[in-house]
Each structure stands twice: as structure tokens, then as C-alpha cells.
Amino acid sequence: MDWEEIRSAAKDKLKGYCRVCPVCDGRACAGEVPGMGGAGTGAAFRANLEALARYRLNMRTIHGAKSPDTSTNLFGCELGTPILAAPITGTPYNMGGALTEREFIGAVISGSRLAGTIGCSGDGADPAMFDAGLEAITVERGWGIPFIKPRAYEEIVRRVRMAEEAGARAVGIDVDGAGLVTMALKGQPVGPKTVTELQKIISATTLPFILKGIMTPDEALLAVEAGAKAIVVSNHGGRILDHTPGAADVLPAIVQAVGGSVVVLADGGIRNGADVLKLLALGARAVLVGRPLVIGAFGGGAEGVRQVLTRLTAELRQVMILTGCQSIKSVDSRILYQG
């Protein structure tokens, strides 16, 4: 199955919940939450792409970076690429239901491993969503990272214990889920967390703990204070709060604020290998990709997911050659044009 066949099959199965547009920029699906679009006007969705587009790359071709190494190590996992699968849930109300939650997340977790990387699973109003992710991670012998919504302490810890039993490599909370419309519609209590509350949660496990949804330097420092091992700079794909800046807009200041005291990851608006390289150059250790993998999973299952991740990695390798980057560790802000 080639990429166009995958796209065609995805468009049919997604039933308009995602139009599989030639350019995935959030314009056709603005305001569609539930759904794959951005909240309100969709400005936050578009801001992710616009922020990345503002950066330009310095082309360098007099160097020895002929065969770049895209491998990296994250939470003790040796990965062939710094591109991870972001946690996504809600196939019935966000994606039309042609795939069950278990079929979808199974494709994401297995496809990620086939591509030499690791996938994340999510949480939602239906307990089956989190359970499906853990089942998929268990099948892959713990090769996955589950994220939990900012629920009550007891509910979070119960899910952390499930992640431990599944052998997950790390665990996280997408703290930006505090205002998620779909959770509110299903009567699931979620909300902001204080540093003290986060410290209590994080101290309840020995797994590396990730806080996803950090968008300001001050909250990045609070995440460090709470004991997080990693943060994800993310505006939840623009699906939480309208009019936020894009992840690439705020990433440099956050990286500078934490100064290497925590692993910084980023997501939002990644559509090609150049986008990946830009976020790495801005200071991210690795990136998470979301919406493109929905198309891969619905259009081609685990193989579709593998193709998306493999394609992005091949594009990343090509732009590394043309910017003089021999390895992921060698990527820094020098590759970005400062006009």
C-alpha cells in the first residue's frame, strides 16, 4: 500500500471528521471539538504551523555529514529517530469510529515500534480508552508511554499502577487536558494541579514522569520543582485554548529557563522532516507527532503509521545532510537563519 492509497482509505474511514486535506493546517476543521480541529477559531492550531514556518534553515554543503545518524536515547530507550507518536484518543467522537479505540492505538503503538521509535497512548472519558492503550503497550512488551488526564489523585495513581504493571517505559499527565471539552461532556472531573499535588503524584512512582502541555517558562520551572523528568511543550494541538502561541514560538525561552534540568520535548504542527529539525534546533530533545498518524492508522493500520514515521525520518535525514548535521546531538540553533 503506497502513501496515496493510505490517504484515500483514511479519507473514506474518517467520514469528514478529518478531511485529509492536502495541507493539514486546521482551516477546514476550525472549531470542531469534538473532532480533530482546533478550539474556537482554530487560531491555536494554525499558530503551531505558522510558528514553524517563520523559521528558515541555513543550507550548508561543505562538510562531512554524508550519512546522518538520527538515533537518540530517551528514558533508557534506544530509538532510531527522535520522532515519537503523540497520545491521541477518542476514535468514536473525534474520528468517526471506523476504528475502535483498541484498533487505533494498537496501530499507533505497533507501527511506532516498527519504525524504530516509541508511541504514546492517551486517556479519556471512557475507561476503555486508557485500557486500550495499556493493552497495546503490553502486547509490545511495555514499549510505550501512557498519558493520563489531570484527574483526582486516586484516579491518577490507579492508572500509574496499571502503567507500571504493563511495563511502560515512562508515564505522564497531559496537564493541558484540564479544560478539555470532551471530558466535560462526559462528566469526568479534570482540572489544574498545584506543584504540591504534582509532587505527590510524581513521588508515587519510580517511572520517569512527563508533564505534557507546558507553554511558559515559569510553568516549566514549576514542572522541574514538581519532580518531572521531562516536559512536552504543547498547546494540545490547539484543541484546548483558542489564540495560544505556537509551540515553536515559546520553545526557546522554555529551554533557556530549564537549562538542561529536564528533558524538553515538543509537539504541534509537524508535517515534514524540516519541521522536526527546526524544533530540535530550538532545543527539543525529541518531538511528538499527532494528526499525521491519525491518517496513517486509519488508512493503513500499523503499516500506515510506520510509513508516516519512516517518511518523516527520511525527510529529517535529508535536511540534516543539507544543513551539515551529522547526528541529533549536533543539531543546534546555528542551522536556523537569523535574518
Domain count, the chain: 1
Question: Do the Cβ atoms of 235 and 289 come closer than 8 Å?
Answer: no
**Terminal-residue alpha carbon distance, the chain:** 42
Give the whole-angstrom CA distance, residue 237 versus residue 292.
Answer: 12
Range of lowest pLDDT (54-63, 67-76, 175-184, 230-239): 175-184
User: How would residue 187 be classed by pLDDT, with cut points 50, 70 and 90?
Assistant: confident
| pLDDT on residue 185 | 74
Residue 293, domain member (yes or no): yes
Q: In the chain, what percentage of residues exceed pLDDT 90? A: 91
> Measuring CA to CA, how many Å separate 240 from each of 28, 39, 52?
18, 6, 20
Query: What average pLDDT does the segment 61-80 reach?
Result: 97
The pLDDT value recorded for residue 245 is 98
Instruction: Return the closest-CA partner of residue 255 out of 293, 288, 281, 228.
Output: 281
- Cis ω before 34 (30° cut-off from 0): yes
The pLDDT value recorded for residue 127 is 86
Residue 337 included in any domain: no
β-pair partners for 233: 214, 266
* This prediction's pTM: 0.97
Q: What is the mean pLDDT of residues 78-93?
A: 96
Q: Please report whether residue 232 resides in a domain.
A: yes
DSSP-H helix ranges across the chain: 3-14, 43-53, 91-94, 101-114, 127-139, 153-165, 181-185, 195-202, 217-226, 247-258, 273-281, 291-321
Q: How confident is the model at residue 285 (pLDDT cuts 50, 70, 90)?
A: very high
- pLDDT range class, residue 42, cuts 50, 70, 90: very high
Range of the domain at 130: 3-19+26-327
Average pLDDT rounded to a whole number, residues 73-88: 97
- Res 322: pLDDT: 98
Q: What is the CATH number of the domain that holds 70?
A: 3.20.20.70
DSSP annotation of 332 reads -
Q: Is residue 124 part of a domain?
A: yes
CA distance 112 to 207: 21
**pLDDT score at 272:** 98
Average pLDDT over residues 231-252: 97
Whether 238 is in a domain gets the answer: yes
Examine residue 116 and state whether it is found in any structural domain, yes or no.
Answer: yes
Comparing CA positions, the residue from 119, 117, 127 lying closest to residue 162 is: 127
pLDDT tens digits, one per residue of 300-324 = 999 999 999 999 999 999 999 999 9
How is residue 325 written as a grid cell?
A: 548535521
- The residue written with cell numbers 527546526 in the block is 278
Q: 31-40, 96-105, 221-230, 257-266: lowest mean pLDDT where? A: 31-40
Cα separation, 137 vs 144, whole angstroms: 5
Residue 336 located in a structural domain: no
Residues with Cβ within 8 Å of residue 59, at least 6 apart in sequence: 322, 323
333 located within any domain: no
